[in-house]
Structure formats: structure tokens, C-alpha cells
Amino acid sequence: MTKNRRKNYRLNSLNLLNIGVYENGSLIKQGIGRTLNVSESGILFESYFPIKPESEVQLSIGLEEDLVEIKGKVIHTMQDSARKYKIGIKFNKIKKLDFDVLKVYIADFTALMNREGI
């Protein structure tokens, strides 16, 4: 059995997001994707284009009625199918207000799943 080394719980969640890929501070690629799971320290999302590990990204994620802006670094990219990629991001910059929205979203969604026995 593999030991879970994650510090934060990952919540399976499907949300639309805007992806901006940066190199040397300049935007080099932009597109849309969707979240697969999210935690307080990282996210796994699906995209129609690969992003190299170590790349810097900025994500705009729609969480219910809020739009959260997060910057992070690509930890891994896996090709899921001929047209989709799963990309893991570790957050490295998030404003306090956006972080608070993310924490409330995770807590509320987790509580709802527990109430419904999911």
C-alpha cells in the first residue's frame, strides 16, 4: 500500500477554470479546463493542452458565486487520453481573501457530502 504524503485533504470537485501559463513573467499560453480535485495547497485539473513540469501558472477558478485567483507551479502532467491532460499544481501564491473563499468552499462542500452520506 502506498503511503499518502499529502498534508491537506483533496476534495473531488468539478469547476471551470481559466489557465494562464507563464514563462519569464510573460503569458505564453492560455486556455480553459476543469478541476478534478482541490485542496488548500494544490489542485488537479484537466486541460486540452499539456503544461511542462515546473511551469508557472495562474488559475481563475469559479467556486460557486466566487472567482478565486491562484498562482502555482506544475508538479506533474499526465496524458489522460488523446486529447486530455491531468495537471497537478502546487499553490505558491494566493491572496488571503481568495484563500479564505477556498477554505470555506472546501469546508461547506465536505459538510454537504457528509450530510448526504457521499
Of 1-5, 81-85, 94-98, least confident by mean pLDDT is 1-5
Q: Pick 11-116's CATH classification: 2.60.120.200, 3.40.50.300, 3.20.20.70, 2.40.10.220.
A: 2.40.10.220
For residue 67, the number of C-alpha atoms closer than 13 Å in the C-beta half-sphere is 6
Q: Say whether pLDDT at 26 is over 90.
A: yes
Q: Say whether pLDDT at 4 is over 50.
A: no
Using alpha carbons, select from 75, 69, 98 the residue that is nearest to residue 87: 75
Domain boundaries, the chain: 11-116
What is the C-alpha end-to-end distance of the chain, expressed in Å? 24
Query: Mean pLDDT over all residues of the chain?
Result: 85
Using alpha carbons, select from 96, 17, 92, 84 the residue that is nearest to residue 55: 92
At residue 1 the predicted structure's pLDDT band, cuts being 50, 70 and 90, is: very low
- Joined together, the cell numbers standing for residue 17 give 477554470
- Ramachandran bin of 24, using left for φ above 0, alpha for ψ from -120 to 50, beta for the remaining angles: left
Report the share of the chain in percent with pLDDT over 70.
82
At residue 6 the predicted structure's pLDDT band, cuts being 50, 70 and 90, is: very low
- Joined together, the cell numbers standing for residue 83 give 486529447
